[in-house]
Every structure is written in C-alpha cells, then in structure tokens.
Amino acid sequence: MRKLFSFIIMIGLFTFSSFSNAETSQEKGFRIAAKSDRMDNGFGTSIAKLTMTLTNSAGDSTKRELEIKTKEKPNENVGDKSVTFFFTPPDVEGTALLSHSKILDSDDQWLYLPELARVKRISSSNKSGPFVGSEFAFEDLTAAELGKYSYEWLEDTTLDGLKVDKIKQIPLYQRSGYTYLIAYIDKDINQLRKIEFFNRGGAHFKTLTQSEFKNYGGTIYRPMVQQMDNHLTGKSTTLRVEVYEFGIELNENEFKSSALSQL
Amino acid sequence: MKMNLNPLRLASFKIIVLFAMISSSALASDFSFTPSVTTEFRYFPESPAYDGQLEYFQPSIYFSGEGRWISKDRKKRLQFEPFLRVDVQDDERSHFDIRELNYSQRFSNFDLLIGNAQIFWGVAESRNVVDVINQFDEVENSDETDKLGQPLIRFGKFTDIGRFEVYYLPYFRERTFPGVDGRQRAPLTVDLDNAEYDEGREGWAGDFALRYQHQIDQFDIGIHVFTGTARAPFLKSNGEGTSHIPIYQKLTQGGVDIQRTWDAWLLKLEVVIADQSGDNFTSNVFGLEYTFFDFSNSGIDIGILFEGLYDNRDENKTASTLFENDIFVGARFTWNDFQESELLFGAIIDWKTGSMFSSIEYERRIGENMKFEVEAQYFLAEDSEPLAQFERDSNLTLKLTRYY
C-alpha cells in the first residue's frame, strides 16, 4: 500500500514536470497573443481620426469620417470604453456611439441621434452585426481583448516576407459570428498582420489585413491601414488613420451615457 | 404665393448668419457648418373637410444647417442650428426658428449649457410623456417630433450615484398651429395672437426642472420634476365661436423613465403624475421592443415594437390628448447598407373607439450628400372622435435634402 502510494506520487510528479517543461500549443498560442496584446498596455487614452471607405463589388465607394475616443481599462477582464463620433456623411453628422465593451457578455451601447437630440440605449446582443454598413462587425472593432478567445498555436510561417506565428483563435463569446479566426502575428514587433475569419458554416469569408505600422513610443504600435475584405460579397472596407493622439486627458464622465449629448 | 414672415425674425436670422460667419472666420478650421436645403412635397388625396383648407398639393422648402465649434481642450462647445421653412400654401407654416444656438462648457466639477437648445427625455417610441422641456413645432408635423428651440440655462453635475441637472427656462414659447389654409387642424383655427395664460405665466415667468439620470447594469433610469407653464394649451372657443383661444396653464409634474436592455429585448416605461390647472392626472407609456438581427441571413435587422398608452386627464379642464387608452404597434427595418436605408411602420389605435393613426416612413441616402424620405400618414376615426377632424388629411409626403 505504501509503495503504491509513493508510485502514484512519482507518476504525479512526472506528469507535472513534463507539463511544465514542454509548452502545449494552446499555451504557446496564448503566450504569443498575450505578448502582442500586452505590448499595448498602458496607452491609457487615445483619440483616432479615421476615414472609412466602403467599396461594393461593382467598385463603387463611399467615405465616412469618424473619430474614436478610447479609454483603456487596466484590468484585462474588463473591456475598454469608447465613443465613436461621425463627421460625415452629412445626414449623420453628429451621431455618436458609446460602447462599454464586455469580454464575454453583450456590450452596453448607446446611440446619440442629433436630429432628435436623443440618447438611446440599444441592444447589442449581435456583436456579429455590421458596424455602420461596413464589413467590420462590432466584435472586430473590439477584437484586441485577450480574454475573448481561446488560443492554439499552429505553425511558424512567412507572410509577405515576414516571419510570423500562425495562431487559431476560438471565440469564447457564444454568439460570435465566427467559429474560429486564424491570426498571423509577426516575430519582429509582435503585431497582428492578418486575420482570416471563418463563419458559422466553417467557410473562410473575411480577411483583415493590417499594414503601415507606426510606433507611438515604447512598445505601442498602430496600423495606419486596416482593410477588411468580404470574400462572399466582394465588398471591402478600409479604415485609414488620419491622426492618432495618445495620453489625452479623458474624464471617466465623458464615457457615461448621460454625457453623450454633450460631445 | 403668400408670405408672411415676421421682419423682426428675419432680422434676427441675418444677425445669426453674420455671427456664424464671424465665428467661422475667427475660429478658423475648428468651426464647421453644414447647410442643408430640403424640398418637400405633400399630397392629400382627399378634398378638405373645412373651409379655407388647401386642396391636394402642399409644396414647401426649408433651409437648415448644423454648426459646431469645439475648443482644443474639448471642454467648450458652441452649437448652432437655424431653421427656415417657406410653405407655398399655409403661411403659418412659413416660419423661422433657432432650433439650437447654445454654448456649453465642462468645468472640473460641473458643466453648464446656456442658450437655445433641444433637450430630449424619454425611452418610448410612440409618445414621450416625460419629455417636457421643448415646445412642439406642431405646424411642422402632427406627430410630435419637431420641437422649437427652448432658451435655457442648465447646470449639470456627475456624481458616483448618477448625474444631476438643474434647468432654468426663462422664456416660454407658444405652440405653433396650422393656419386656415393648413390641413391637420380642428374645424376652428387657433387664434395665436390672443393666447391666454393662467396665473400670469406669460412670457418671462420662468420654469424650473430637475433631472436625475443613472445607469445600473441593464437599467437606464431617469427621474424628473418640472414646475412652470404647460407646453400643451387648453383650447377654448372664442366668444363668437370662430376660433380657438389657446390657454396656457400652470403645470407641476414629476415622472420617471426606465429602460431595461436585456438581450435583444428593450423594456420601457414612462410615468408622469401631473397637476395642470387643478386637474390631477397620470400619463403613462409602457413598451416592448424586440430585434431580430440579420433576419434569416438577409442582413436586415427587424425590430418589433409594442406600446400601451394611458392618460386619465379631464379634458374639460386641461389640454386634450389623443392618447387616452391606446396601443401602438410598429416595426423597424434596418438594411445595414451603405445608404442606411430604413423603413418604419407604426399605428396608434384607441382600444375603446377604434380610432387609428398610422404611418409608414422610408429613408435612404443618395450618394454622399443627399437624402430621400417618404412618409405616408393614414387617419381613421368615428365621426364623434377628436381624431375624426384629421380623417380627410391622410397624406403622402416626399422630401429630398441636399447637404452642402
């Protein structure tokens, strides 16, 4: 009996040590994604002025100018808060969207409609829905939260001459529009270069390409161009950063629904 | 074409335009102003019910614009929205208003808003009983969505337990009504030059309001009290029985508005308890909204709306309402396309009399700088019901707006 007991202990120790020595592909996937995500920690606040170009399959395009104010939450288990303000097209000028993003639940969202001067809390149970008619879903715009996915490292590969890690990300949010994502993170500055999105039917239907990375001090990088191509519809949306500002004093109160009419 | 624009108002319009031009040059790129021109065409298929009312076609044009300036530190803001309509048929509908001309500033512990403003309170879709700050611009549309700019001073403060606001409304604005040529009016027109006021509440008597707002998880909560002049007038026949005299009464009210946002459901409640000229009554709206996102993989979101309305005021004593015992059913279709196409259908039905007001609205953007809107309104009522006076005024309205 005593021998059997020590045998079990030994088996246990052996198993434990083998786990601690060799990293599983899940752990490796998480580690690389976490490194990429945490490089961004401490940006605090940012204001981005963006131009969004929406192009349909016939090649017709339309532009929107918007500004996104973001306040980072230091805790990885709490989502960031953001306000998106639209300058054009002129019929929606002054419209604003406030989001309190949640990691695994539906976000809290409010819309400000300038025509009625009305603030309206809207249902956001569809994170997979399109963001203002674009190819970006709401969940794509808050995709950087680490806790939203489980990870699996697939392989080392190259992308446009860059050495990258290829990682499979499975959304933990039940009503995500995706079964999984394939992310490509470069080994040089640890940034997300490309994401392939697989829909509920398992088909690769969208691709996000991020380019023209710019350093904003320390380990904080931002892509100046994000392009989302929809392979099913032939439509695409390009988000181009015009101006990025960091470390601006943004009061917590600016991210309250009762402040939305005061922007 | 009849035009009866008050020269004083036109003068103030010029001053404001001048002011906007000066500010835009002084503040350079920070001030933006987007003017717009809308051509509107209303068609009434039925001949009018009352003498003097226009027949069939009512064309008009209106000029508006959105101006804003924000300081570099984002704490100071100026907003400007003028509005001028020229209506070919109804000279009461030809009018000018400063929807917004206000300045606001955020200080470290509080914020201030001063000027003409549009303030919205409420959560429901068919009627917002808690929304008391602005007067309705009834001559624009009978559906209570267009509001006149209200001069006000607002002091606001965020605290850990929510936001508090104190309003002082120094000047009272009378409701607009269609003239003798206008459709959607009572058999008698409203005599705007002879409005009466209870208890000397005319003009600069001043109104006060307090508002509290807070969000707790799924709940958005608002509470308010208001004391001042009621926006809705009691209409009394004049001595000869040739027109209605609007009587503006004293109003004290308190109310709450609550929305629970739960999954794809929105649950809404607005309750007001009021004392208007000695009549105590309650006005309520309870509502549900459910959205089917990406309905059957079409990319279209479909929202289904249901609301119940109740109001027990004594119409012999105070301003009448069409929403005593009503239900509202509606649907909203959102295409999520480039043009942001949207279709909204709604019907308000009195469950006691069967009177019905229904409308269907469609809008979409054309290109980058134009918007097209079409709205059809349909009225159905027993002859004895107040809504019956609109029964021949079902109409189709087309609007095309160009932004510059």
CATH of the domain at B399: 2.40.160.10
Mutation target vs A (from B111, B125, B293; most A CBs, 10 A cutoff): B293
A36 pLDDT more than 60: yes
Q: Establish if B1 belongs to a structural domain.
A: no
Cα–Cα distance between A88 and B365 in angstroms, integer? 12
Residue A66's pLDDT band, with cuts at 50, 70 and 90, is: very high
Which segments within B88-198 are labelled E, that is strand?
95-106, 111-117, 150-159, 162-169, 189-190, 196-197
Lowest mean pLDDT across A59-63, A137-141, B362-366, B393-397: A137-141
Lowest mean pLDDT across A142-146, A181-185, B160-164, B219-223: A142-146
Residue A119's pLDDT band, with cuts at 50, 70 and 90, is: very high
Chain B partners within 8 Å of A251 (Cβ): 106
**Cis peptide upstream of residue B151 (ω within 30 degrees of 0):** no
- Containing domain of residue A196, as a range? 25-262
Q: Which residues contact A7 (CB under 8 A, 6 or more apart)?
A: none
Cα–Cα distance between B77 and B153 in angstroms, integer? 15
How many independent structural domains does chain B possess? 1
Task: Flag whether residue A262 sits within 8 Å of chain B, measured between CB atoms.
Answer: yes
Task: Flag whether residue A259 sits within 8 Å of chain B, measured between CB atoms.
Answer: yes
Q: Establish if A175 belongs to a structural domain.
A: yes
For residue A31, the 8-state DSSP code is H
Nearest CA in chain A to B215: A257
Residue type, A83: V
Residue B294's pLDDT band, with cuts at 50, 70 and 90, is: confident
* pLDDT the model gives residue B25: 45
Q: Which of residues 167-206 of B touch A (CB under 8 A)?
A: none
Q: Establish if A73 belongs to a structural domain.
A: yes
Q: Establish if A235 belongs to a structural domain.
A: yes
pLDDT digits (tens, 9 = 90+) for A219-257: 888 899 999 999 998 999 999 999 988 888 888 889 999
Cα–Cα distance between A98 and A258 in angstroms, integer? 10
Q: Are strands B111-117 and B150-159 parallel, antiparallel or unpaired?
A: antiparallel
Tell me the two tokens of residue B16.
Answer: 């404001």
Q: Which residues contact B97 (CB under 8 A, 6 or more apart)?
A: B82, B83, B137, B148, B149
How many independent structural domains does chain A possess? 1
pLDDT digits (tens, 9 = 90+) for B259-287: 999 989 999 999 999 999 889 999 999 99
For range B336-364, the mean pLDDT: 93
* pLDDT the model gives residue A118: 95
Nearest CA in chain B to A262: B104
* pLDDT the model gives residue B11: 46
For residue B241, the 8-state DSSP code is S
Q: Establish if A11 belongs to a structural domain.
A: no
B292 pLDDT more than 60: yes
- Residue A155: closest CA among A15, A8, A29, A39: A29
Q: Establish if A6 belongs to a structural domain.
A: no
For residue B174, the 8-state DSSP code is P
Task: Flag whether residue A88 sits within 8 Å of chain B, measured between CB atoms.
Answer: yes
Chain A partners within 8 Å of B340 (Cβ): 92, 132-133
* pLDDT the model gives residue B74: 86
B27 pLDDT more than 50: no
Chain A partners within 8 Å of B403 (Cβ): 89-91
Lowest mean pLDDT across A36-50, A144-158, A249-263: A36-50
- Residue B279: closest CA among B249, B241, B246, B304: B249
* pLDDT the model gives residue B398: 98
pTM of the model: 0.88
Q: How far is B172 from chain A (nearest CA, A)?
A: 20
Average pLDDT, chain A: 86
- Contact (CB, 8 A) for B134 and B148: yes
Decide which of B29 and B296 is more confident. B296
Q: Establish if A8 belongs to a structural domain.
A: no
- Residue B368: closest CA among A114, A185, A52: A52
Q: Are strands A149-159 and A61-71 parallel, antiparallel or unpaired?
A: unpaired
Q: How far is B215 from chain A (nearest CA, A)?
A: 8
In this complex, the residue of A62, A114, A125 whose CB is nearest that of residue B368 is A62
CA angle B231, B20, B22 (to 5 degrees): 150
For the domain that residue A83 is a member of, what is the CATH number?
Answer: 2.50.20.10
B232 pLDDT more than 90: yes
Cα–Cα distance between B346 and B305 in angstroms, integer? 8
Chain A partners within 8 Å of B149 (Cβ): none
Q: Establish if B2 belongs to a structural domain.
A: no
* pLDDT the model gives residue A143: 52
For range A48-59, the mean pLDDT: 92
- Contact (CB, 8 A) for A133 and A54: yes
A6 pLDDT more than 90: no
Residue B28's pLDDT band, with cuts at 50, 70 and 90, is: very low
Task: Flag whether residue B336 sits within 8 Å of chain A, measured between CB atoms.
Answer: yes
Q: Establish if A14 belongs to a structural domain.
A: no
* pLDDT the model gives residue B3: 42
CA distances to A18, B88, B93, B179, B399 from B62, in Å: 77, 11, 11, 18, 10
Lowest mean pLDDT across A137-146, A208-217, B242-251, B260-269: A137-146
* pLDDT the model gives residue B153: 98
A126 pLDDT more than 80: no
pLDDT digits (tens, 9 = 90+) for B46-95: 999 999 999 999 999 999 999 999 998 889 999 999 999 999 999 999 99
Residue B291's pLDDT band, with cuts at 50, 70 and 90, is: very high
- Containing domain of residue B262, as a range? 7-403
Task: Flag whether residue A90 sits within 8 Å of chain B, measured between CB atoms.
Answer: yes
Residue B10's pLDDT band, with cuts at 50, 70 and 90, is: very low
Contact B294 A259 (CB under 8 A): no
B338 pLDDT more than 80: yes
Residue type, B228: G
* pLDDT the model gives residue B371: 96
Decide which of B337 and B212 is more confident. B212
B13 pLDDT more than 80: no
